[in-house]
Amino acid sequence: MLDYRAHTFLEVYRQRSYTRAADALHISQPAVSQHIRQLEQHYGCRLFIKSGRGVDPTEAADVLYRALSTMEHDEDRLQADIDSLSDAKARRAPLRFGCTRTIADYVAPRLLAGHLERHPDERILMQVENTAELVARIDAGAIDFALVEGSFDRTVFDHEVLSHERYIAVADRPIAAARLEDLLACRLILREAGSGTREILEQHLAARNLTVSDFAGIIELASIPAIKACVRSGAGITFLYRAAVEAELAHGELFDITPADMHIEHAFALIWQRGSLFAERYRALLRAWQNALT
């Protein structure tokens, strides 16, 4: 159980204001100030510095926040597990996690089918967002872990790799391309900014002093099925994970046109808050899911 001063600290850190924290916690502002002073005395350092009408956290506060927010979320998870003991219809708390869109559409169905065979009574709450949004939801305690394809802060999150996936170029017809630059004359159809699928392409282009704007045109779509439909109709080419187009490639509806000088593999990873008490549970779940993919 977290100390009441820890809850005050967490609220001040999130609100960046003693006044707003006091309102949210339904206590007086002097009480908030006292709680923070007691923590500063205990740890021997400043935690907040006045800034305009609010406060800014110090580096020490950043460290303390990461630790206490993990403890807070673990406490919520423990409480949910305990509460589930009194629920005759549920053996444990729901499996709350998130997936990036490619994983949700083309990998998660296989994982969940096997998972529900092993745990038929388990409740599953899966959210689908880009990596940046899922990271924010883990930090806020809205989900416990996530399967992501994009970049994340490894100093804040622990992780294990689920699989390594090929990243390829796709078109509605065969196109011979020795170099990535040979495809710049094509219109590019891609995901929205912030998506892991787009981020990989942008990083690869940047290493060649290129950007997505160097293609003949750009169409942005938030839906992978919509992107594939546009490519099938001849509207342009796209770059995505091979796992997302296996069926279309097998049926000759789309073609792998990956240039000879482009070989990209990227990890699909399961991430959770560093230091979580439930780390071994997440690792065990990952091992079961890896077996489902073999």
Contact 269, 157 (CB under 8 A): no
Q: Quick one: pLDDT at residue 21? A: 93
C-alpha–C-alpha distance, residues 32 and 45, integer Å: 17
- Nearest-CA neighbor of 199 among 270, 236, 148, 272? 148
- Nearest-CA neighbor of 190 among 164, 228, 152? 228
10 Å CB burial of residue 28 (0-12, 13-18, 19+) is exposed
Instruction: List, as one string, the DSSP characters of the chain.
Output: ---HHHHHHHHHHHHT-HHHHHHHHTS-HHHHHHHHHHHHHHHTS--EEEETTEEEE-HHHHHHHHHHHHHHHHHHHHHHHHHHTT-TT-SS--EEEEE-HHHHHHTHHHHHHHHHHH-TT--EEEEE--HHHHHHHHHHTS-SEEEESS---TTTEEEEEEEEEEEEEEESS----SSGGGGTTSEEEEPPTT-HHHHHHHHHHHTTT--GGGSSEEEE-S-HHHHHHHHHTTS-BEEEEGGGTHHHHHTTSSEE---TT--EEEEEEEEEETT-TTHHHHHHHHHHHHHHH-
Contact 24, 11 (CB under 8 A): yes
pLDDT tens for the chain, 294 residues: list them. Answer: 678 898 899 999 999 999 999 999 999 999 999 999 999 999 999 999 998 889 999 999 998 998 888 888 888 777 777 766 666 544 566 889 999 988 999 999 999 999 999 888 888 999 999 888 999 899 888 899 999 987 888 888 999 999 999 999 999 999 999 999 999 999 999 988 878 788 889 999 999 999 999 999 999 998 899 999 999 999 999 999 999 999 999 999 999 999 999 999 989 999 999 888 889 989 999 999 998 887
Q: Quick one: pLDDT at residue 85? A: 67
Q: Quick one: pLDDT at residue 84? A: 67
Q: Quick one: pLDDT at residue 79? A: 74
Read off the pLDDT of residues 81-108 as tens digits, 9 standing for 90 and up: 776 666 654 456 688 999 998 899 999 9
Q: Quick one: pLDDT at residue 91? A: 54
Q: Quick one: pLDDT at residue 72? A: 83
CB atoms within 10 A of CB 246: 11
Q: Quick one: pLDDT at residue 196? A: 78
What is the reported pTM? 0.71
